A and B are shown apart, each in its own frame.
Chain A
Amino acid sequence: MNQPRKKMIVVGGGTAGWMAASAIARMLPHAASVELIESAEIGIVGVGEATLPHLRAYLQTLGLDEAEFMAATHATYKLGIEFRDFGKPGDAYLHPFGDFGRPLNDVPFLHWWLRMHALGQGGEIADYCVANVMAAQKRFSPPAADPDALLSAYSYAYQFDATRFGPFLRGFAEARGVKRTEGKIVSVERDGGTGDVVALVLESGTRIEGDLFVDCSGFRSLLLGDALGEAWEDWSHWLPCDRAMALPCASPSGEIEPLTRATAMPAGWRWRIPLQHRVGNGYVYSSAHLSDDAASAAILGAIEGEPLADPRVLRFKAGRRKRSWSHNVIAVGLASGFLEPLESTSIYLVQIAIQQLVDLFPIGGIQAADRDEFNAQVDYEYDRIRDFLILHYHASTRDDSDFWRDVRHMPIPDSLADKIELFRRAGRIQRYSRGLFFAPSWIAVLIGQGVMPQGWDQRVDTANPHELGQALGRLRVQIASDVATLPGHRVALGLQA
């Protein structure tokens, strides 16, 4: 192919910018040259510490070494997110990166369990989830390679220091020809006819031209939002939290839990993300329900170790730009939209956008069809995550603050109402092949927050309850004893036990 290489300009050197630049440099070296512009003066958000298992695929695709990555970012392993006090005060459940049991005679495990549960037997569904049992015992080991092994039915992600991930990728990207330019962009030049962006002008007066602009400028949305004026779709009526008070603290002594914790709070919820060298904390709240000062006091009161900085407030709105790709600008990361970090989905959305960009990278000129495809895929992802987040607020019986009374009773999207009702009838999960969150995720949160199916798949009715109870009992014991042979999380990280 004799297509000239496209000149791709990445605006922003946060997690999104460096992830995009690294991926394009690694995967499309013949199709594009990459220049990244970042401004030390503006800086990065620097939060965003909990990830999803998909990040492993990103590292693998780029050929990055897991151990090096973990050392550079002080990363820990993550088996899921524990939600405390969401359904009602005192509740706790894990949304694990793994399955509950295994299908039996083609019938999902859930239904066998539901039948026993209705008889007051069978224990907790969490007992059948390897990731859950591991997290409870604070152990970790990578999943077994043999898909028949009990200890294969889970996945894992990382918790890392967000300020170190970009710099880690920078070395990789620069070694693959990415040009980095330090400077603050002060104006954006557009073509009078097409409206495409043609060049960026830095404070120093330097003018940088490009064919394709990847907007990773964070909440500012410098190109897509500011320059192109792409419309904003506001979701704050469903997801009213609009601030976060972040505060890292020293690690408590003892074993590191291989999980992120989200604890419901009077005006939102609080994250706790253990890294190797510290713990990240933050209170995500609704400014209509809580003042910044009160949030600051609350997070200071909640942390378990010495604070390592002053509480820092971050402001945001739930929603997204109507289109992430407009003209020759593709927004990746916070520049395209924001959903609160309740399910650690932001970096995943960064990754999806990059993957779609690689898949739909322009050949010759930009095709409207490619752009539409890209935007359709991004829509799927956002819509599904949005519904899933709303579920955490809707499926609650909390009645102890205005915030919880408001979110419990707010109208929800029809798409979500149907999903919940379908599950409530007989434990079925609406099936889709694109987008995040498949059956185990829905099962974990729905049951975890008290939405118990009233029925189950009729195929389990013929089983002899005594035998079924024994089989389930054996499985529970087996999982518990297999997990007990695994090392603790600190040992798995190569730290002192």
Chain B
Amino acid sequence: MSDRAIRSIAILGGGITGLSAAAAFARALPQLAITVIETPPDPAALADRLPGSTSAIHRFHASIGLDERDLLRAGAAVPRLGLRFENWSTGAATWYHVHGEHGAPTGAVAFHQLWARARREGRAEAWHRYAAAGVLAEASKFVHPQPGTPLATFDYALRLDPERYRPMLTALVDRLRVARFAGAFGTIERRADGGVAALMSADGRRVEADLYVDASGPAAPLADAVAQDFEDWGSVLPYDRVEIGEAPTSAADPNDTIIGGAGGWQFAASLPGKTLLGRVHADRGEGTSIAIRPGRRAAPWVQNILAIGDAAVALDPLHWPNLHLAQSSIARAIELLPGRDCHPVETAEYNRRARAEAERMRDFQALHYLRAGAKIEVPDSLARVVQQFEQRGRFVHQDEDGLLEEIWISALLGLGVVPGATDPLALAVSADAAASRMAEMRAGLATLPARLPGYADYLARCGMPT
């Protein structure tokens, strides 16, 4: 496509999102000239500020050539097994949301079907206790997955320290010969067709590129200069205020803690030398906290302007969707990079996928709020998921769901959406046979933690600073 290929990209935003985009584009397309305009950090850019990620981060890191061991040694990241939910809804016990296999199917019958029946009969322990990761999470243990052992079937995420992670990205983009300078958005020059011809920083520097990426946070002045259409999800996601703070270090924990409460929730995530704390709630006019406006830019890619990160989708931090969606959008942009003319048929495919992915994530968060008793509007797509699962334990697959089925099912069951009846298919396995298989599984999993080091010990062995 050389004659119509994109030759240069200008990225507005010097936070983690902007630098991640620069690194990914530079690695995948070394022929591009890339310039990053490092805008002052926007406190409301949650993708840049929060420590959370999902297990999809490993793939992104591999694509930009960032080695997890280097991150660990620098104290820029620590492995995270799961989320510990406390007090999420009235009467619910503490539960762990972990990534990885839970139980094992019996022929064509999914494990959660057998579990649900046993649960109704009072013969099943908590869902996470049938997963290696859940057992480790509850015992505060950690090891990396070990292929060929019972510890092969789980996944983990990373908890990032933004203050240490960002400089590592900076060093990386410098090695990849990305140009960068500090500046703020000034104005744009438009082309006759409405696209952007040039971007001027506040101090008058002019940047011309074939493609402009707005990674500057929710204010998104560049993307906003071209199109303002916004889908507001305020009726679905009830919280629009976030406070972020720090506490001196506490005991290292492989899980983030999520504590529910009336009118909002809190989180704690331990990092080397500190613990990040946060509070998420609805606006009560307190003023000091960060305001977020849940929703998404209706078309994140318009002409030659692409919005990513908080500039494209704004969600509260439950399950850490912010950086996850930013990284996913970067990978999608590379995969679908259009020609220089950014033909609408090409950007439409990007936008279609971006929308579906963001909506799935919105639904996933909304499920948690619904179960906590918040008065929200339930999107049809979520209502179908809940109805089918609640009735018979069937999981409804939808296009572009970045969350694996097991991640949804862990949340559904953890949140107490237990199928009310046994799926007819599962009747083929007798309740007693299922219960004895489950007891056997539990016995095997229960022996795991005793053989493994504590989380802090394990990190020390990986060369983590303390």
Contact = CB atoms under 8 A, between A and B. Distances in A.
A361 B427 CA distance: 12
A422 B343 CA distance: 9
Interface in B1-60: 1-2, 4-6, 28-31
Interface string A261-304: 00000000000000000000000000000000000000000000
A422 to B, nearest CB: 5
Contacts of B400: 431, 433
Contact of A462 (B31, B339, B353, B388): B31
A373 B345 contact: no
A426 B5 CA distance: 10
A398 B169 CA distance: 56
B5 A461 contact: yes
Interface in B367-403: 384, 387-388, 391-392, 394, 396-401
B423 interface: yes
B397 A433 contact: yes
Given A428-B349, A434-B397, A457-B337, A61 B1 contact: no
A367 interface: yes
A421 B398 CA distance: 25
Interface in A370-389: 370, 373
A456 interface: yes
B391 A459 contact: no
A308 interface: no
B215 to A, nearest CB: 20
A448 B399 CA distance: 28
A461 B1 contact: yes
A461 B392 contact: no
B387 A369 contact: yes
A425 B339 contact: yes
B235 interface: no
Interface in B84-110: 108
A428 B427 contact: no
B424 interface: yes
Nearest to A27: B425
Nearest to B420: A363
A421 B346 CA distance: 9
A458 B5 contact: yes
A20 B84 CA distance: 45
Contacts of A430: 349
A30 interface: yes
Contacts of B425: 27-28, 31, 358-359, 361
Nearest to B429: A30
Given A361-B424, A363-B421, A458 B1 contact: yes
A201 B2 CA distance: 70
Interface string B327-338: 000000011111
B1 A426 contact: yes
Interface residues of A, number: 39
B249 interface: no
Nearest to A459: B28
B108 A431 contact: no
Contacts of B31: 458, 461-462
Interface string B391-432: 110101111110000000000000000000111110110000
B348 interface: yes
Contacts of B423: 361, 363
A462 B30 contact: yes
A193 interface: no
Contact of A369 (B63, B338, B391): B391
Interface string A430-445: 1111100000000000
Interface in A454-493: 454-459, 461-462
A27 B343 contact: no
Contacts of A30: 424, 427-428
A290 B38 CA distance: 69
Nearest to B341: A425
Contacts of B334: 459
Nearest to A422: B345
Contacts of A411: none
Interface string A325-369: 000000000000000000000000000000000111101100101
Contacts of A359: 394, 425
Interface in A240-270: none
Contacts of B428: 27-30
B4 A433 contact: no
Contact of A364 (B1, B29, B396, B421): B421
A459 B5 CA distance: 10
Nearest to A426: B1
A425 B338 contact: yes
A418 interface: yes
Given A425-B339, A426-B338, A456 B1 contact: yes
A23 B384 CA distance: 26
Contacts of A363: 391-392, 421-424
B189 to A, nearest CB: 25
Contacts of B346: 422, 425-426, 428
A148 interface: no
A359 B396 CA distance: 11
A32 B425 CA distance: 11
Contact of A458 (B6, B387, B391, B394): B6
B343 A369 contact: no
A364 B392 CA distance: 11
B345 A434 contact: no
Contacts of A360: 394
Interface in B341-355: 343, 345-346, 348-349, 353
B461 to A, nearest CB: 32
A106 interface: yes
B177 to A, nearest CB: 14
Residue among B31, B63, B399, B424 with max Cβ neighbours from chain A (10 Å): B424
Nearest to A363: B421
A106 B63 contact: yes
Nearest to A369: B387
A67 interface: no
Contacts of A149: none
Interface string A402-441: 0000000000000000100110011010111110000000
Contact of B349 (A367, A369, A422, A457): A422
Contact of A461 (B2, B353, B387, B396): B2
Given A360-B394, A459-B28, A1 B345 contact: no
B399 A434 contact: yes
B394 A1 contact: no
Contacts of B343: 425
Contact of A367 (B117, B384, B391, B397): B391
Per CB-CB distance, the 3 closest pairs between chain A and chain B, nearest first, are: A455-B1, A31-B424, A30-B427
20 contacts: A27-B428, A30-B428, A32-B424, A358-B424, A360-B394, A361-B423, A361-B424, A363-B391, A363-B422, A370-B391, A418-B345, A426-B339, A457-B1, A457-B335, A458-B5, A459-B28, A461-B1, A461-B2, A461-B31, A462-B30
Given A373-B396, A461-B2, 12 more contacts: A1-B427, A28-B424, A30-B424, A31-B424, A31-B427, A431-B349, A432-B399, A434-B399, A455-B1, A457-B1, A458-B29, A458-B31
